[in-house]
Structure 1
Amino acid sequence: MQTVYIIGVGLIGGSLAIDIKKQRPDIIIYGIDNNAHHINEALERGIIDKKASIEAIEKADLVILATPVDTAVMLLPMLLDRISDFGLIVDVGSTKSSICKIVASHSKRRNFLAIHPIAGTEFSGPKAAVPNLFHQKTTIICEIEKTAATLQEKALNLFATIGMRVRYMHPESHDKHIAYMSHLSHISAFMLGKTVIEKEKNERDIFDMAGSGFESTVRLAKSSPAMWTPIFKQNKDNVIDTLHDYISNLSRFKSLLENDDFDGIYKEMDETNYIKTILSGIQ
């Protein structure tokens, strides 16, 4: 592999570029982004080697599509039209069903691999890119059997080089699970932030009284609405199901409080404490 083209040089695309350059300095990394400031910043920070246009991807060994998911769905068919028979396109979005369906009948479906690295922060843009973001993080791969074996190997070897763990999953199963494990937590953070902003009119009070618990819980509310709105749109049905379950649990907690059932509250929290065992026990 000699050339990697990254479309969208923000947090995920930029962090992948940093790790690829570190492990494979022989690879030339090209950046493509419709935001000229982002491309120039990525060049200045040494995240990419050169800037390029979409028309040039026919020369690519690997194309990493790291745009918001609505843009990725729009771009992918056209990118597959341009990719060479020996090139591979991977997308790194957090919804997989829509993008897999859009190219299901494409003549170059074998040149596409749908992945989702389970890594990130609440920040965006090239300045958010950091080294080792993906080290020992799980990457979900969907429909690998539809990707050419030689091209699979190209991607899997690169993922292993930068320290990723790999798990395989059906697109619909991925989207259902990720709605609970990621999408719901972002909604919770945004709505917690909204509630506080609406009720605490004095910004100084928020700043002075926000402890580490509040800060860690609301952290994801700093995330980009431009990225997350399309995710909620593409995974709407699963997100609605998760909200139904979440609201049900909130309502139950409220009812326990209203009825002075503090034994019930203790029991709810004590049982939920088991989450720390799950999260600490999985290697």
Structure 2
Amino acid sequence: MTRARTTTAAGKTRFDDIYNEPDPRAYFRTLSPLEYEIPHQAQDVFRRTLAQRSAVRGTQLPVTVLDLCCSYGINAALLNHDLSLADLYAHYTGPTTNGLSRGELIECDKEFYASSRRADAVPVIGLDTADNATRYALEVGLLDEAYAENLERHPPSAELRRAVARVGLITVTGGIGYITHRTFGALLDATALPVWVSAFVLRTVPFQEILASLDAHGLATETDPERTYPQRLFSDPEEQRSAVELVRKAGDDPAGLEADGRYYTRLYQSRPRPA
């Protein structure tokens, strides 16, 4: 029986029942009908941004990536493997993995990802409050390190601070709104290298406080207000009505975007200001 879903204060449907399962099969089965696609939209962006960050003079290679709200390691899978998001949907919703136990799926996925590992793969550290999801990503080899910590409520552990000190690029696709300037401030305080941030942000979610935190830590942020990236279909008419209202309150036009039935994001790219 499907669990009744609640909504956030902004009217967005909560999918808490799929975010921290022992493996990602329910996640993909639930989000497939909603055409959740932001990791696909981010795949090439993150690869290009990583290549640009790697090319910075004096950079020690490979650059370590910190993926915020990493979930089951999906962004890491797409960054470091010759796989598409469609491949992941097919893998986790198809007959090959349907009847496997968690242990059997782990072994299957180790081989699945190892067989498509890119030669230019980089270390990826994952941060998410979902301990089961991060444990899965760690066990199948998608993440090099994983931290199930809530920086909105608690300071980062000493282990996480040491990990962040090695990071050169921070990525996030679906977490802004769940995490705020508090998480970014705590992480940026722990950085030791010049760090870039590549963030996809829903047009319904305020980003000003995070922008202020990035600026206070010496990062300049750019975005193209005319360029948007689809995230997923709305789950019901009420979710759409809430999104359209929020977009209008933010001074944006939902016509042809949220008004047509999907959430949309903007990309914010932050880099250290020139000395």
The TM tier, using the shorter chain, reads 0.3 to 0.5
Higher helix content, 1 or 2: 1
Q: Please, what TM-score do these two structures have when normalized by structure 2?
A: 0.41
Larger Rg: 1 or 2? 1
Query: Which structure would you say has the larger RCO, counting Cα contacts within 8 Å and 6 or more residues apart?
Result: 2
